A and B are shown apart, each in its own frame.
Chain A
Amino acid sequence: MASIKLFLKSSVGRKFLVGITGLGLSGFVLTHMAGNMLMFVGPEAYNTYGHKLITNPFIYIAEVGLLAIFFVHMGLALCLALENKKARALAPSQKPSNCEKDARLGSRYMVHTGILVFVFVVLHLITFKYGPYYPVSYHGVEMRDLHRLIVENFKSPLYSGWYLFSMVILFSHLVHGFSASFQSLGFFSVRNCLIKKMGWAFAFIIAGGFFIQPIYGYFYGGN
């Protein structure tokens, strides 16, 4: 028990937790993106899917779990980032290095892209989960018309633009985050060719999937 405690308190252990929660969140965005694809099938399929999710009694357990994963990921990552800043200690006249041997851009701005993703998630919940309730009824069952809400929001070029921008940020976060998680867990190095390609592919699938939805909504919305 003492060795597990020591592990979780160490830098390696905390990075392990950031990695494993990051992969959990990656799994969530994948299912979220795939579920949203039902909007292309039609309003009925999409709304019924949303209704089934929200009326499932396990949804509360899943929500609490997801929230816990989200806050562990974010809290630990911020705590580690503050430690990193303290460890660096550059004099004001010393510029951060921008040189031949530097690391890839996305990997250097994980905290920044992460904070932007957090801002997006908060606004996203306000817009959709806690947004206006439009009732619709299929086969005698009343449910929320989420499809209408989505199309309404995506009709605004400003909202769609912000959404697309956020997806580019999420893409950058996932490209590094996905492969880096496997390194933090001790499975593969981020230099591993397969895991590197998988990181790019995963980020591409997620961001790509979320990309076509606002574009569709924008045109479907009668613009």
Chain B
Amino acid sequence: MKLHLKIWRQNGPSAPGNFKDYEMDHVSADMSFLEMLDVLNVTLVKKGETPIEFDHDCREGICGSCALMINGNAHGPDTGTATCQLHMRRFKENDTIVIEPWRAKAFPVIKDLATDRTAFDRIMAAGGYISVNTGNAPEANSNLVGKDTSERAMDAAACIGCGACVAACKNSSAMLFVSAKVSHLAQLPQGAPERAKRVRGMVTQMDQEGFGNCSNTGACEAACPKEIKLENITRLNREMVRAAFTE
């Protein structure tokens, strides 16, 4: 398959970036999207050019490293998948594919398609944990959690922190990410004691990092590779109101 690629090239955080055109021939439909970029990088290296920088790690949709805007879609056109799970069979002969880094001021470009997402780590450090010593796994029946609650918490815990929600949001808001972390912990007996302190800390840090505000459009939910639900944002709002009346 023959493809026309328009890829964002940017030398460093403060350098101006622009799109560069690349032509690719003989792309196999069985390749993953990242393998296609690997092949392109090999040809660039052979020609003596600088390869394209992009983030990747596990390549099986769990680590949250890969992060590409593909034709304006975070993680490409498929729903519920990360960039690494996207395959070239999704594209047709002679397609033009526009590849960009995540779009947000709070995620500055490091180089080309790689962005600095440590803002998420700082939000996590502001309360996305429980303050207890972890030891061996406790006896299963010592902490009873209802099935519905555990399912909701588990669904929220599926967030891999890739930042697709921020990239897809027209406001670059990190609400879906923060709400997933808050929802995950606030509903469980281990996380409940610190829920007010946690939500205050995480939301304050989120605002300081320069993410935008939620306007409830739902673009984040559509882009999320782990299908984190919008109702988590409702829960975050509720937690924040609750925290306003808690010491």
Instruction: Check B217–A184 contact: CB distance below 8 A.
Output: no
Q: A107 contacts B216, CB within 8 Å?
A: yes
A93 touches B105 (CB 8 A): no
With A16-B237, A189-B230 already in contact, the answer to whether A103 and B170 are too (CB < 8 A) is yes
Q: What chain B residues lie within 8 Å of A183 (beta carbons)?
A: 216, 230, 233-234, 237
In the A-B complex, the 4 residue pairs with the smallest Cβ-Cβ separation, listed nearest first, are: A186-B238, A103-B217, A87-B212, A84-B171
Of residues 1 through 32 on chain A, the ones whose CB sits less than 8 Å from some CB of chain B are 3-4, 6-8, 10-16
- Are the C-beta atoms of A101 and B222 separated by less than 8 Å? yes
Contact of A97 among B168, B196, B230 (CB under 8 A): B168
Q: Report Cα–Cα, A186/B199, bound state, in Å.
A: 14
Tell me if A129 is interfacial: C-beta within 8 Å of chain B. Answer: no
Q: Mark A166-204, 1 if CB is under 8 A from B, else 0.
A: 000000000010011001111111111000000000000
- B186 interface residue (CB < 8 Å to A): no
Residues from chain B with Cβ under 8 Å of A100 in the complex: 73, 77
A110 within 8 A of B: yes
Shortest beta-carbon distance, A14 to chain B, in Å?
Answer: 7
- Known: A4-B244, A107-B215. Is A87-B104 also a contact (CB below 8 A)? yes
Would you give the 0/1 interface string for A83-126, flagging 1 where the beta carbon is closer than 8 Å to chain B?
11011111101111111111110011010000000000000000
Measured between alpha carbons, how far is A62 from B56 in the docked complex, in Å? Answer: 59
A91 and B17 form a contact (CB under 8 A): yes
A10 touching B203 by the CB < 8 A rule?
A: yes
Query: Which residues from 233 to 247 on chain B have a C-beta closer than 8 Å to any C-beta of chain A?
Result: 233-241, 243-247
Given known A10-B203, A99-B71, A101-B79, contact A86–B233 (CB-CB < 8 A): no
Contacts of A110 in B (CB 8 A): 215
B212's partner among A83, A98, A192 (CB-CB below 8 A) is A83
**A7 with B241: CB separation less than 8 A:** yes
B-chain residues with CB within 8 Å of residue A101 when the two chains form the complex: 73-74, 77, 79, 168, 219, 222-223
Flag if B244 contacts A15 (CB, 8 Å).
Answer: no
| A positions within 8 Å CB-CB of B | 3-4, 6-8, 10-16, 80, 83-84, 86-91, 93-104, 107-108, 110, 176, 179-180, 183-192
B83 within 8 A of A: no
Q: Does B157 contact A (CB under 8 A)?
A: no
Is the interface on chain B under 10, 10 to 19, 20 to 34, or 35 or more residues? 35 or more
Residue of B nearest to A2 (CB): B247
Complex contacts, B231 vs chain A, CB 8 Å? 189, 191-192
Complex Cα spacing A146 to B67, Å: 60
Q: Which residues of A contact B73 (CB under 8 A)?
A: 97, 99-101
Determine the chain B residues whose CB is within 8 A of the CB of A93 once the complex forms: 18-19
Partner of B211, one of A6, A87, A107, A188: A87
- The contact of B234 among A13, A98, A187, by CB within 8 Å, is A187
Given A7-B243, A88-B105, A176-B216, list of 19 further CB < 8 A pairs? A3-B244, A16-B240, A80-B215, A84-B215, A87-B210, A88-B171, A89-B104, A89-B105, A93-B18, A95-B72, A100-B73, A101-B74, A102-B222, A103-B170, A176-B217, A186-B234, A186-B238, A189-B229, A190-B216
Q: What is the bound-complex CA distance between A110 and B136, given in angstroms?
A: 51
Q: Flag whether B55 is at the interface (Cβ < 8 A).
A: no
A184 and B212 in contact, given A84-B172, A88-B104, A190-B230 (Cβ under 8 angstroms): no
Task: Report A185 CB to chain B, min CB distance, Å.
Answer: 7
